[in-house]
Structure 1
Amino acid sequence: MTAVPVVIIGAGPTGLTAATLLAQYGVECLILERWESVYPLPRAVALDDEVHRILARLGLRDEFAAISRPHRGLRLVDRTMRVLAEFSRDVGPGRHGYPQGSMFDQPELEAILRRNLTKHGSVTLRGGTEVTALAQDADGVRLDVTDTATGAHDVIRAAYVLGCDGANSLTRTSIGARMQDLGFAQRWLVVDVVTETDLDQWEGVHQLCDPVRAGTYMRVGATRYRWEFRLAPDESADDYRDITRLHPVISPWTGTIPATELEIVRAAEYTFRAQVADRWRDRRVFLLGDAAHLTPPFIGQGMGAGLRDAMNIAWKLAGVLHGALPENVLDTYQIERRHHARSMIRLAKVIGTAMTAGGRVGDLVRRAVAPRLHLVPRLRDLAADSETPALHRSALVVRPRLRRGLAGRLCPNAILDDERRFDDVAAGRFAIVTSTTPPARQRAEVEGQGAVLITVRPGDELHRWLTRGRVNVALVRPDGTVLDAGPRLSMLCTHLPVVTRMS
């Protein structure tokens, strides 16, 4: 019988990210995946700069840059391809140090995640292994597994289990959790096409506002393009697996390019849903990624939500296993992530409904309103800015109840005096960012607890950030989230004995 501290079920982006983060903290873990190798078909294609920042934390800054391409934002177009509105995003480094939006091929991303994992001897990946049952007792979790090639059975023991096993999660079923429906279900055709001919389209996401055939277009790679179209009740993906049938639908973007120069990589039907699990933890078992939440793809946050889950729980679980944190800090995982995930899913639902609902009346409203949306500051910022909501109040997010503060928000990945970025200096540890130079006694106290002390000067990006937050000091967690912020360092030092011994 194999026994490990952590078993991760599922070797998709969420599971691989969680394993890598745990490995960086020296935690031994075993990944169980029923597929022998990377799933070959493209699924997720977009992520924002917050998630790009997580990939850089894994050590994939250059590798991901090599397989991705920044996109320029969102355009709303009508059926004649007339631009109704445009919300541009910065393709250069933003507050997180990376382009606000990037396109990529998921199999390529999973391949570099797997290669990167081999750098860590504390992680084992077992492909061709299906988990058939989970059971908890006082000492941990028992997993029954089957070798998909030979049919051989085995039993594995784990102190903790992370269920990253997708929408049809066995882990979710085993803990009795259920998906709560947030009231959105639409059938869509998702098509990936390869062509050596450049389509010469605007390098961003095109949202087709058509009451008959709502759709989305984006360039994913040098030769790869994706279209998503809402299916009529009497249609299925089978109707469009032949390029001659698909060609008329995508011709507004392909123009005069003949069908013979276009190759369908995949044509699949998806039901876009908005759902959140009613609970994400049962004692030693946790849900991450699609096992915990499903979102419509209209704001490109599906895969990113799973990586945020991994970033949130990995340092907490490592701290518990190393004896640096009390076990009850794991309660903060669902408190923080569930509220954030619901907020992002609701935003995707609102945007999807606004772009697709209302029939011809809705189309007339969109034609009249969309060209003026950029004049509404709140909507303009929502569409053009990649910042996501603050995390909910918890034992590790000390947010004021009556005003907006820095707590729960990500610290900018700013360039510091030595030309390194914040994340490179913090390096997965707690950090204190202060605009006032602390006395030697306080500096020694902070550094003695294992935290990184970063003093910023007027004019620095982090100094401006503190000023906007009306504070002088911020305590930043290993995941980049502000735990607390205030006027004096002494107030924040009260947290240090509890949370900083992570090395």
Structure 2
Amino acid sequence: MLANILGMYGRRVTVLEAMDTLIDFPRGVGLDDESLRTIQTVGLVDSVLPHTTPQHIMRLVNGSGKVILVNNPQTDEFGWGRKHGFIQPAVDRALFEGLARFDNVQVLFGHRVEEVLETADGVTATALVSGPDGEVREHMFTAQYLVGCEGGKSPTRKRLRTTFDGESPATRWLVVDVNNDPLGTPNVFLGADPKRPYVSIGLPHAVRRWEFMLHDHETEDQVTDPDYVNALLKDHVPDPSQLSFIRRRVFTHHGRVAGTFRRGRQLVAGDAAHLMPVWMGQGWNSGMRDATNLGWKLASVLSGQAGDDLLDTYTSERREHAKAMVDLSLTFGNIIKITNPLLAAGRDAASSVLNLFPSVKSYFSDMKFKPMPRYTQGVLADPGTRTPGRAAARIGGNLIPVRTANSRVSPVGVQFPQPRVNFRHGHDVLLDDAVGNWWSVIVWGNSPKDVLPEASLEKLRALGANLVCILPETQREWAEKSMGEDVLVLGDSTGRMKKWFDDRPTPMVFLRPDRFVAGACLTQDGPATLDAILASMSFNPQPATLR
């Protein structure tokens, strides 16, 4: 994904892959709305969707099979459903094949990086490559930055000399994947059975996954034996011996986060930066969030548009949310894997009572317990104080528009919604497809050119930002005629944007390439807010080449 983002922005990228080919067996099984939004941004959503199951419902059941919790969120504020099942090898291949679009990106399989030398000017990686004659040769690659995406044992993270705090619970699990799903139910069952907790997941392409918690006395050789696996499956299918097995593998959950994601010219992303327990299906998605956050920042630095300090915000923005997801996943896992019958009975009874309260039931069903990313430090400007690099969670001030707003929760540091809009060149399109993949300044009901001074507009041109006006669809044709070709006019045909702006005293929004809000303010505060944002990213005022 990171190579796709950088390729999209015209940056030269070399991907060094130690393996000879892509992994072809299922791994991650959950794809969320934030990841699909990023996939949409790089233009590969049509290639990925055939390998997904939308609205992947999760049901937590007790040892008797009674449903004690349902997770079925209906929201789509980011343009996509909240949860999707997916086949990771197929989606990974779609991302890999998408790189063929870019002459500036090369992928080299069978290149194992063994040594890295960093200087003040760049990074040189030495990779071992086996030739057709079997002889191993060294190939050297020099670049400005190196990003290690090598998983939990990442050599790059070790070169950063950083901590990797967290825990690795001793509990082991057996994962079993089969073709020709013998159950056919398209969703997820988490079996909180004190005798042996299990997971049963229906996936696209007729794949079924089971996971079984192992007892301490069970060895890996024992539990991967076909007869032993069949015995574990006998309560799930009539005849396990007739299943078409893909793999049987033992794994241990880990919950760890690196102390920093960057030092000098080397960075880490994905499992190299954080190991995520499987319970919330956030391992793969957390890696996508890393790429989404880091991609535009690397592109900005490589183009000379921003200073190297911008890359420090990758850690300050991503680390805390990654830790929050790890903590939530560990907590959720502890609820599921209770083996004490009395504690399990207490959990089941408490769930039955809590389900009687609609607000509590909605809290779980709509996935409100999932911490959404909120950046409080990074490429931001506080809407009240215009402080560069910081943003409080609430909007301060005593102006009447602030005091009378439906919400004083700040939109700065969170993702902007993605409704469908109409514009001159398309109807009923997702917002991101209309505004493009770089910076935008969005104003409700007015032209940015009419509310910003020329000095600010010049800075926005140097940034490469699109000027966008959103207003009711009824006014769109009038605005298109009056605002000129250099302002993108979007018609709010669903009313969702009107409500968003109605709830907040921030009619001007500065939208980052990763769809997070860098600044939001009253229009008269626009120049100061823009200056604070530019200061937070060490902006270099030169013509942008990344639109």
TM-score by length of 2: 0.82
**How does 1:359-438 map onto structure 2 within 5 Å?**
359-374=340-355, 375=357, 377=359, 380-385=362-367, 388-399=371-382, 400-401=391-392, 403=394, 404-418=409-423, 419-438=428-447
Q: Give the Cα separation in 1 of the matches to 2:318 and 2:286.
A: 9
2:112 to 101, 108, 130: 130
Does the Cα contact within 8 Å between 1:316 and 1:330 map onto a contact in 2?
yes
Q: Counterpart of 2:401?
A: none
Q: Give the Cα separation in 2 of the matches to 1:424 and 1:465.
A: 19
Q: Counterpart of 1:456?
A: 470
Does the Cα contact within 8 Å between 1:243 and 1:262 map onto a contact in 2?
no
Q: Counterpart of 1:494?
A: 531
Q: Counterpart of 1:155?
A: 140
Unaligned runs of 5+ in 2: 383-390, 395-408, 473-493
Q: Give the Cα separation in 2 of the matches to 1:78 and 1:28.
A: 52
Matched AA of 1:154:
H
Range with bigger deviation, 462-471 or 437-446: 437-446
Q: Counterpart of 2:99?
A: 117
Unaligned runs of 5+ in 1: 1-16
Q: Counterpart of 2:520?
A: 485
Range with bigger deviation, 434-443 or 143-152: 434-443
Does the Cα contact within 8 Å between 1:391 and 1:397 map onto a contact in 2?
no
2:177 to 177, 192, 201: 192
Q: Which structure is larger by alpha-carbon Rg, 1 or 2?
A: 2
Does the Cα contact within 8 Å between 1:177 and 1:278 map onto a contact in 2?
yes
Q: Counterpart of 2:501?
A: 466
Matched AA of 1:170:
P
1:17-44 deviations in Å (ceiling 9; x for gaps): 0001001110001000011111122211
Residue 315 of structure 2 is aligned to residue 334 of structure 1: yes
What is the deviation of 1:261? 2.9
1:31–1:402 Cα change, 3 Å: closer
What is the deviation of 1:297? 0.6
Report the count of equivalent residues.
481
1:177–1:313 Cα change, 3 Å: same
What is the deviation of 1:239? 2.9
Q: Give the Cα separation in 2 of the matches to 1:439 and 1:88.
A: 39
Q: Counterpart of 2:29?
A: 45
Q: Give the Cα separation in 1 of the matches to 2:157 and 2:264.
A: 13
Q: Counterpart of 2:163?
A: 178
Provide the secondary structure at the position in 2 that maps to 1:222: helix
Q: Give the Cα separation in 2 of the matches to 1:58 and 1:439.
A: 27
Q: Counterpart of 1:315?
A: 296
Range with bigger deviation, 214-223 or 365-374: 365-374
1:251–1:475 Cα change, 3 Å: farther
Q: Give the Cα separation in 2 of the matches to 1:310 and 1:479.
A: 10
Range with bigger deviation, 423-432 or 315-324: 423-432
Matched AA of 1:121:
D
Residue 264 of structure 2 is aligned to residue 280 of structure 1: no
Q: Give the Cα separation in 2 of the matches to 1:70 and 1:27.
A: 33
Does the Cα contact within 8 Å between 1:73 and 1:384 map onto a contact in 2?
no
Does the Cα contact within 8 Å between 1:53 and 1:96 map onto a contact in 2?
yes
Does the Cα contact within 8 Å between 1:47 and 1:303 map onto a contact in 2?
yes
Does the Cα contact within 8 Å between 2:233 and 2:240 map onto a contact in 1?
no
TM-score by length of 1: 0.89
Provide the secondary structure at the position in 2 that maps to 1:352: helix
What is the deviation of 1:206? 0.9
Q: Give the Cα separation in 2 of the matches to 1:284 and 1:178.
A: 18
Provide the secondary structure at the position in 1 that maps to 2:195: coil
Q: Give the Cα separation in 1 of the matches to 2:13 and 2:32.
A: 28
1:300–1:324 Cα change, 3 Å: same
What is the deviation of 1:222? 3.3
Q: Give the Cα separation in 2 of the matches to 1:38 and 1:477.
A: 32
Provide the secondary structure at the position in 1 that maps to 2:349: helix
Q: Give the Cα separation in 1 of the matches to 2:118 and 2:448.
A: 50
Q: Counterpart of 2:306?
A: 325
1:204–1:398 Cα change, 3 Å: farther
Q: Counterpart of 1:228?
A: 211
Q: Give the Cα separation in 1 of the matches to 2:170 and 2:362.
A: 27
What is the deviation of 1:340? 0.8
Matched AA of 2:121:
D
Q: Give the Cα separation in 2 of the matches to 1:437 and 1:251.
A: 65
Provide the secondary structure at the position in 1 that maps to 2:380: coil
Does the Cα contact within 8 Å between 1:71 and 1:205 map onto a contact in 2?
no
1:440-491 deviations in Å (ceiling 9; x for gaps): 4446754634322332336621222233344222211000111111222642
Does the Cα contact within 8 Å between 1:183 and 1:274 map onto a contact in 2?
yes
Q: Give the Cα separation in 2 of the matches to 1:325 and 1:424.
A: 25
Does the Cα contact within 8 Å between 1:186 and 1:273 map onto a contact in 2?
no
Range with bigger deviation, 372-381 or 467-476: 372-381
Matched AA of 2:114:
T
Q: Counterpart of 1:218?
A: 201
What is the deviation of 1:397? 2.7
Matched AA of 1:414:
P
Range with bigger deviation, 153-162 or 120-129: 153-162
Q: Give the Cα separation in 1 of the matches to 2:420 and 2:78.
A: 10
Provide the secondary structure at the position in 1 that maps to 2:64: coil
Q: Counterpart of 2:325?
A: 344
**How does 1:61-76 map onto structure 2 within 5 Å?**
61-76=45-60
Q: Give the Cα separation in 1 of the matches to 2:15 and 2:438.
A: 25
Q: Give the Cα separation in 1 of the matches to 2:525 and 2:175.
A: 54
1:288–1:417 Cα change, 3 Å: same
Residue 43 of structure 2 is aligned to residue 59 of structure 1: yes
Does the Cα contact within 8 Å between 2:448 and 2:469 map onto a contact in 1?
no
Q: Counterpart of 2:190?
A: 207
1:105-137 deviations in Å (ceiling 9; x for gaps): 221112111111111110011110100011211
Range with bigger deviation, 175-184 or 294-303: 175-184
Q: Counterpart of 1:13?
A: none
Does the Cα contact within 8 Å between 1:208 and 1:214 map onto a contact in 2?
yes
Range with bigger deviation, 487-496 or 365-374: 487-496
Does the Cα contact within 8 Å between 1:182 and 1:275 map onto a contact in 2?
yes
Residue 152 of structure 2 is aligned to residue 167 of structure 1: yes
1:265-317 deviations in Å (ceiling 9; x for gaps): 11111110110111211111001000010011100000110111011011011
What is the deviation of 1:184? 4.0
Provide the secondary structure at the position in 1 that maps to 2:145: strand
Range with bigger deviation, 483-492 or 344-353: 483-492
Could you tell me the percent identity over the aligned residues?
Answer: 26
Range with bigger deviation, 65-74 or 19-28: 65-74
1:232–1:328 Cα change, 3 Å: same
What is the deviation of 1:151? 0.9
1:231–1:376 Cα change, 3 Å: farther
What is the deviation of 1:439? 6.1
Q: Give the Cα separation in 1 of the matches to 2:181 and 2:188.
A: 20
